[in-house]
């Protein structure tokens, strides 16, 4: 049988593979360490036979890598959806920050993304390799921010002095700040609500024309 590559569109994913992806997602959400999760734990949670995963995936690293790519795809789709509901750049940014905080699952996903980008484990390298493939480009969260920026520039919402390609770094960096702060908020005296508002404002100050 043809193996899963992680490049499949959401509707192309076979039902059993979906069960696997969902099992991995649940395990991550429940705080398990992906690296030390057993294949048998995944299959048990997915309610399928242990051998079945090997019909679809080459090995354990592929299982995890493809599961993460699926989560990234879903995140991207979620953000696309959210952005399509807003018209103004500022609102879109805020909606993203809001969305990410609202759903703790997606928080995990975002942190996972950072984790993956900074690690050398077998599956992390694999995820990065797959993300670099042309086929996957359309599923990158980066794309959402890029489009958001293009629109913003076109409408004159974003400062003319800013290099368009930096906008994405600015947004990314703020999101990162937010995520880390929220994650570390036990030790932070300020609430996440207040912080979000502050971050949102400082991001807009940095990127947007004042009168907008």
Rounded to whole angstroms, how far apart are CA atoms 109 and 125? 17
- From 8, 22, 32, 55, residue interacting with DNA (rule: CB under 7 A): 55
Instruction: Pick the piece of the chain touching DNA (CB under 7 A) from 9-17, 103-111, 133-141, 183-191.
Output: 9-17
16 makes contact with DNA (CB under 7 A): yes
14 makes contact with DNA (CB under 7 A): yes
51 makes contact with DNA (CB under 7 A): yes
Nearer to a second copy among residue 84 and residue 173 (C-beta)? 173
Nearer to DNA among residue 48 and residue 207 (C-beta)? 48
Rounded to whole angstroms, how far apart are CA atoms 78 and 106? 10
Residue 128 CB-density burial (10 A; 0-12 exposed, 13-18 middle, 19+ buried): middle
Rounded to whole angstroms, how far apart are CA atoms 182 and 16? 35
Shortest distance, position 195 Cβ to a second copy, whole Å: 7
- From 52, 103, 177, 192, residue interacting with DNA (rule: CB under 7 A): 52
Shortest distance, position 108 Cβ to a second copy, whole Å: 9
Which of DNA, a second copy, none does 104 bind, CB closer than 5 to 8 A by kind?
none
40 makes contact with DNA (CB under 7 A): yes
36 makes contact with DNA (CB under 7 A): yes
Nearer to a second copy among residue 13 and residue 28 (C-beta)? 28
207 makes contact with DNA (CB under 7 A): no
**What is the footprint of DNA within residues 66-125 (CB under 7 A)?**
none
Residue in 118, 120, 137 with CA at minimum distance from that of residue 72: 137
Instruction: Pick the piece of the chain touching DNA (CB under 7 A) from 35-43, 71-79, 105-113, 162-170.
Output: 35-43
CA distances from 30 to 64, 108, 211 (A): 16, 10, 45
Rounded to whole angstroms, how far apart are CA atoms 175 and 199? 9
In sequence order, the β-bridge partners of residue 158 are 208
Nearer to DNA among residue 121 and residue 192 (C-beta)? 121
33 makes contact with DNA (CB under 7 A): no
List helix spans (H) across the chain.
15-29, 39-46, 53-56, 60-84, 89-102, 104-118, 122-132, 141-154, 164-183, 192-207
């Amino acid at each position: 049988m043809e193996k899963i590559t992680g490049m499949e569109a959401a509707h192309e994913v076979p039902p059993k593979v979906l069960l696997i992806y969902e099992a991995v997602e649940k395990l991550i959400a429940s705080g398990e360490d992906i690296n030390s999760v057993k294949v048998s734990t995944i299959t048990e949670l997915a309610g399928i036979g242990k051998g079945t995963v090997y019909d679809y995936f080459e090995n354990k690293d592929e299982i995890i890598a493809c599961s993460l790519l699926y989560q990234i795809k879903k995140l991207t789709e979620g953000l696309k959806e959210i952005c399509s509901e807003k018209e103004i750049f500022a609102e879109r940014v805020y909606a993203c920050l809001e969305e990410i905080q609202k759903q703790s699952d997606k928080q995990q996903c975002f942190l996972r993304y950072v984790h993956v980008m900074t690690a050398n484990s077998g599956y992390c390298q694999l995820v990065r390799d797959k993300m670099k493939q042309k086929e996957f480009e359309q599923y990158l969260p980066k794309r959402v921010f890029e489009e958001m920026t293009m629109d913003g520039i076109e409408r004159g919402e974003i400062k003319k002095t800013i290099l368009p390609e930096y906008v994405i770094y600015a947004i990314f960096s703020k999101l990162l700040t937010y995520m880390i702060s929220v994650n570390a908020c036990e030790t932070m005296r300020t609430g996440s609500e207040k912080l979000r508002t502050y971050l949102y404002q400082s991001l807009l100050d940095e990127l947007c024309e004042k009168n907008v």
